[in-house]
A and B are shown apart, each in its own frame.
Chain A
Amino acid sequence: MSRLLRWAAAAAVGAAIITACQERLTSPAQCPELCPGGSAQVFDTIMPAVAGLDSSFPAAKDAATGGYVARGGGVALLLSSDGFAASQDRAIYRFAPRSDQVLVRDTARSYTVDSAQINLTIVARDTLVGGLRLYLYRLPSSVDSTASFETIDPLLVDANLIDSIVVPDSVHRGTVSAKVIGTDLSRIALVGADSTLAIGLRMAAVTPTGVRVGSLVGTNASTFISYVTANVPDTATAILHPALTRATAFNTFVTLNPIVPVDSLVTVGSEPSNRGLLRFALSSQFLDSATIVRATLELTPVQPIIGLPDDPSILRTLAVVADLGAKSPITTDVTFIRDDTLPPVQSDTLRVDITRIVHLWQSTRSRPQSVSLRMVPEAATFGRAVFFSTRSHGPDPSVLVAPRLRITYQRAFPFENP
């Protein structure tokens, strides 16, 4: 019995030692008795951008020729119906030239077009708006990047209509096609030396809306396929039926009343795309002593930023590696890149959390206290933002509308001595 007791006691001691090794030291605290040093104080402060150094690129004088992403150079083209609040846009494709002969056994043979098909890719649409119909019009093959809404829209008339595509409400994205056969082939006929087909798009729906369609950069631009019959009399199988596919060689879109940058404002997005550059000057004393728990970039839009429902635009805020103005290198570290999805209509102050970026400024003083703003996807979204700058003021001059940082921070905790 005594041996059993001894073993039991040894086992109890062993168990106690093992369980005690799991340290658990957290106990509830009643302040101020058990709060040495007191409690942390949290403060809130607003720091405007450096006056006169918040800007967007390209500047107004360079807007016609500059920009980061040219109109039509984005991952999609904009197309919208009349009355759409964001903008009115028409999309344009120009296909690669199609020869009037095909090569069969090293001999060029003439052919006749039996039918044709034009494929379009819908990248995004407002899925709540039904009755979407795309209209395809023939444009002069000379259409290029100098096209404007004023020159293109008058050409989108019944006389130039090729076909229309009814997009079922169930189709939210993907490829839709227009097939041209019979006498309608004359609408896309390539006559004489003009071997290039160019088309313009407009659209209609139950209510004003927009869609984004594929582009060259997005690798989903429109294609033009001709189904032809080639006459080859010296062979037993005298008739061939090749399909001649022509990809898009050029694409763009035109907008009624495009945004023209103003130097006293900060323009982000639009076409060609603009980017904003905001500079701040937080003191070293502040950065050294504060524990920043939240830093919010506040931007006041001059006018509502309207996007396409179900296809939001993204305002991307990036830390700047070196402040070189318009060509400032920006970070590729996703930790310091902040994407904020914009609502369909953003009319209130836009607030972007950039706490990590401000932490970067705290840890590395060689980094400029600057952030770059861009709209994503660039030159391919309906959302176009124009914000007040330090050089402008809102309707109420007493209200701060310049870009600003709202920082919530804690001072150094007053650890009690000893």
Chain B
Amino acid sequence: MRRALVLLALALWPATAAAQSSQFGVRGLGMPGRPLSTRDFSLGGGFGLFDGESGLNPAALGRVTALGASFASLQDFRHVENPAGSNSLRETRFPYFSIAGPLRRYPAVLGVSFANYTSRDFTLASADTVLLRDVLVPVSDTFSSRGGLSELRFAGAYRIQDAWVIGGSFHVITGSARLRFRRVFADTTYEAATQSSELSYAGVGVSLGVIRNFGPGFSMAAMVRSDGHVNVDRDSSRVGTVDLPYSFGLGLRWRARPKLELASQVLMKTWSGANSDLLSQGGTGSDNTVEVSLGAEFTPNLRRPTRRPLRLGIRYGTLPFLLVPGEQPSEFGISAGTGIRFAQDRAGVDVGLEHVWRSAGAFSERAFLLNLGVTVRP
């Protein structure tokens, strides 16, 4: 009954899964998402390849010991600056949820997760003057997009004794972006013009992962993933394909002290494969990305390790889609968070806060990201 309730809750959870928006997600496929649990979000993503509740490494599912589901919501308080001006923005999204549980009598774990792949949520306002009927008429343009790409992941992990865990996953990449352009004329004898279009995306990907435990205090993880390409339809007509990246990840986890655990990872994605596709469709291209993360989790009470641990993280990464040719955006973030489990560890709440700086030339933004996660173990 409880499981049924959980599944019902999952079905009722908002179907939109989107990460934080950014002006650096205006071009190309959007702002890449990070399929991280709230715990790993607080750790800067440094534990992502080892976290069974995150969606980076299918082998990490091997750490899941009981059926559980986790949800995350993300509040974004952002300040954007570019040569056209600045503005403070905010939004709420649901970037990630997952459900996973072990198989009986087998050292295996299966899981399903739904995560944001790229986010194309933005509204851009600009002003111009056009010559109409021999008169200069000021106009205000608004270009907006809602949607993006999401991925549905079916994953499994298998434990080989205690030392090795291997995993694999299959990703269904889908989504849509509803684009809308609206022009309002200062001369009201001209009617406002609204035009809209809808882009839809479809693709699949696979990934393989492995974790090698060198005793209880040290582990290594690796992941490789191929997403093939995504088909792009505009208003139900095929307009092209875009190559999606190969992803490579390598992570280390080290329990430095009984109360202190450290982890770091490097993720590389070959987004340059999409460059030619984007350029051929009039875009500004893309480039490979690298993300380096470091996280530390301090457990005050070893008897109750899930009660208010202190999590800290730091990360630096590059972003794939260029605003200005030859000038790749980058982001830097520091994060902190904690969490609590209750009801005999059957339920828990995690919270994480990250301050992010992103920039590329004259374009910059900074944001506070508040991630709130709920975990349920029926």
Contact = CB atoms under 8 A, between A and B. Distances in A.
A168 interface: no
Interface stretch (A22-30, A97-105, A176-184): A22-30
Contacts of A36: 26-27, 143, 283
Contacts of B122: 25, 27
A23 B126 contact: no
A415 B198 CA distance: 9
B85 interface: yes
A410 B183 contact: yes
Nearest to B322: A33
Contact of B124 (A29, A291, A355): A29
A39 B21 contact: no
A293 interface: yes
Given A16-B370, A37-B282, A418-B242, A30 B83 contact: yes
Contacts of B76: 20
Contact of B126 (A22, A29, A291, A415): A29
Given A21-B92, A42-B130, A413 B181 contact: yes
Nearest to A38: B282
Of the candidates A35, A406, A418, the one having the most CB atoms from chain B within 10 angstroms of its own CB is: A418
A27 B77 contact: no
A13 B74 CA distance: 12
B240 interface: yes
A34 interface: yes
Contacts of A13: 351, 370, 372
Given A13-B370, A418-B29, A28 B82 contact: yes
Interface string B355-378: 000000011000000101000000
A20 B183 contact: no
Contacts of B179: 415
A291 B144 CA distance: 18
Contacts of B92: 17, 20-21, 23
Contact of A415 (B75, B77, B130, B197): B197
Contacts of A34: 23, 26, 82, 84, 124, 126, 323, 363
A22 B77 CA distance: 11
B90 A24 contact: yes
B132 interface: yes
B344 interface: no
Interface in B90-132: 90-92, 121-126, 128, 130, 132
A19 interface: yes
B372 to A, nearest CB: 7
Contacts of A39: 126, 128, 141
Contact of B282 (A25, A412, A413, A416): A416
B161 interface: no
A95 B259 CA distance: 112
User: Which residue, of A42, A410, A413, A414, has the highest number of chain B Cβ atoms within 10 A?
Assistant: A413
A353 B144 CA distance: 30
A408 interface: yes
B195 A410 contact: yes
Interface stretch (B184-192, B213-221, B247-255, B312-320): B184-192
A37 B181 CA distance: 10
B191 A27 contact: no
Dominant secondary structure at the B interface:
strand
B62 to A, nearest CB: 32
A391 interface: no
Contact of B363 (A33, A353, A408): A33
Contacts of A25: 21, 89, 91, 121-123, 144
B87 interface: yes
A25 to B, nearest CB: 4
B80 A293 contact: no
Interface size classification for chain A: 35 or more
Interface in B182-231: 183, 185, 189-195, 197, 199, 201, 230
Interface in A360-418: 406, 408, 410, 412-418
A28 B143 CA distance: 10
B276 interface: no
B181 A23 contact: no
B234 interface: yes
A172 interface: no
B309 interface: no
A293 B85 CA distance: 28
Given A29-B143, A35-B143, A36-B283, A417 B234 contact: yes
A27 B133 contact: no
A26 B83 contact: no
Given A17-B75, A20-B370, A36-B143, A417 B282 contact: yes
Interface-centre pick from A29, A30, A292 (highest chain B CB count, 10 A): A29
A294 B189 contact: yes
Contacts of A355: 191
Interface in B140-177: 141-144
B41 to A, nearest CB: 15
Contacts of B230: 418
B90 A19 contact: yes
A416 B145 CA distance: 11
Nearest to B284: A33
Interface of B: 21, 23, 26-29, 73, 75-77, 80, 82-92, 121-126, 128, 130, 132-133, 141-144, 179, 181, 183, 185, 189-195, 197, 199, 201, 230, 232, 234, 239-240, 242, 278, 281-284, 323-324, 351, 362-363, 370, 372
Given A29-B141, A34-B124, A418-B242, 19 more contacts: A20-B77, A20-B370, A25-B123, A26-B87, A28-B86, A29-B125, A30-B82, A30-B84, A34-B84, A34-B323, A40-B183, A293-B183, A293-B192, A294-B189, A408-B133, A413-B195, A417-B240, A417-B282, A418-B281
Nearest 3 pairs of A and B residues by beta carbon: A20-B75, A29-B124, A28-B85
5 contacts: A13-B351, A29-B84, A36-B143, A37-B181, A417-B232
